Amino acid sequence: MKNKTFGVCAGLLALGLVGLGAPASHARGRLAAGGAGSGSETEATSDVSLPAIPPASSPANVGQRTDALKADLADVNTELAGKKGQEPIPSAAEVPEDQASPAPAAAPAAQAAPPAAAPMPLSSPSMTAPLSTAVPHEFSAGPFGKIDVTGILSGMLWTEGDHVPGDSPSHYDLTNGQVFVQKTTGWWQFYLEGGAYNIPAIGTTFLSTGETTKDIYGPFPVGYLKLVKGNFNVEIGELPTLIGAEYTFSFENMNIERGLLWAQEPAISRGIQLNETYKKLTLAFSWNDGFFSNRYTSLSGSLAWAFNASNTLSFVASGNAGAYARVVTNLSSPTPLLQNNSEVYNLIYTYTHGNLLVTPYYQYTTVPTNTNIFIPMGAHTNGGALLVNYNFKHGFSLAARPEYIKSSGSAAIGSANLLGYGPGTGAFSFTITPTYSKDGFFIRGDFSIVHVTSLPTTGFAFGPTGTNVNQPRGVIEAGFLF
């Protein structure tokens, strides 16, 4: 027991001698290095363990060990700097002895609050690449909360071959002069779209913007109230259709003009729509007036499954549960007799990856025979389309749309004329659209050709006699999204 006590006292005495020499040695090192040695030790010891040093017995040995430790730290520091791709930090032994100690760093100033995040583009109106909605202008509306406002102003030049009697080969007009006002937060929201618009479509005659706005959907074509609860919401008002792969207005699509399959589909309907998203599944169901008939006998629905971020498959359908013949006073009515009493089915696949968007889709429509509403012989159509867009660098993009549609029946048995070119006819079209956009400005051109097949001798196609089966067309559209 006495020997153990004597050993402990001897050890404490030795540690005391080390303590007397080490502070002086470290003080000289820090004074010469200006504190650099301390930084090197901290950095080195974070990743590399130093070799153990045998116990000291005198201040001289402590000095030797200190020099050895500095050398080891310099080696470790060089190795770490090499791994990080940086210049090695000087150790205490490498810093000149006459270098003054740096002044302590000033206390950092209070950090400024980060700037508010810029508003993001909105999801409405719905748009397909390459154009996108502008960054919204935000306004505070008191008890209504934050209101977002965006808009578009655009015009077009139009020229075509084989125009029909009563039409002209060239036109120019406003395509869109619209403003979009919406509330996108809270349990109740709304969307309102108003202004003038044109809805150009391939294979049809030109209709001025003034007549389009007045005769089709009026100056407020879309507007609805939206009630939101989590992933479920209800929309009530004048709603965009669930049907098809193309939207209604030119700026919403990759091509300026609407296609052949679009002409068989409803575009805007009055009614109520329920939407639900559950994981990868999105469901929608609507009770509405179909082709803007003001008779609420049509039902439509959509089921979309997102396999991943790049691949989505959708099935959509609509039909009129009743039968209605609306008396129209102009050929541009949004309620055509045959289509308003039809059923429409779409199978749509969408692939997106980087700058590429590909959407092939199939369409089937059918109109039943109903002599009570002046449809003596029904008919159906089968059609398919491929929508492709690729965004290049510097604001350039290129879109293409080939499509084909064929109707059943014939003029001999009095079948319904679903395409407008005569019973039993078909049509092929190809449209290519190069686009340049920068910030809110865009300019693009449609170059299209429509070819009619199985044309009856009566002639409902193109040219002065309606017997020309081809119609080429060029359209240029330019404008601003704001």
pLDDT of residue 144: 87
pLDDT of 143 reads: 87
458 pLDDT band, cuts 50/70/90, is: confident
Tell me the C-alpha distance between 421 and 265, whole Å: 17
Percent of the chain topping pLDDT 70:
74
Q: What is the mean pLDDT of the chain?
A: 83
Evaluate if residue 418 carries a pLDDT over 80: yes
**pLDDT at residue 333 is higher than 90:** no
Answer yes or no: is pLDDT of 62 > 80. Answer: no
Question: For domain 137-481, is the CATH number 2.40.160.10?
Answer: yes
Statement: residue 223 has pLDDT above 80: yes
Render pLDDT for 35-57 as a digit per residue (tens, 0 to 9). Answer: 434 343 333 333 434 444 444 44
Type of residue numbered 240 = P
pLDDT band at 61 (very low <50, low <70, confident <90, very high): low
Q: Could you list the beta-strand ranges (E) of 321-392.
A: 343-353, 356-367, 379-391
| pLDDT tens profile 255-281 | 999 999 999 999 999 999 999 999 999
Residue 468: phi and psi, rounded to 5, are -75, 130
Residue in the block written with tokens 């990759």: 254
Q: What is the pLDDT of residues 188-221, one digit of tens each?
A: 999 999 999 999 999 999 999 999 999 999 999 9
C-alpha span between 385 and 358 (Å, rounded): 11
Q: How confident is the model at residue 86 (pLDDT cuts 50, 70, 90)?
A: very low
Strands (E), 101-168: 137-140, 146-160
Domain boundaries, the chain: 1-40+57-75, 137-481
Q: Is the pLDDT reported for residue 344 higher than 70?
A: yes
Predicted TM-score of the model (pTM):
0.75
pLDDT band for position 456 (cuts 50, 70, 90): confident
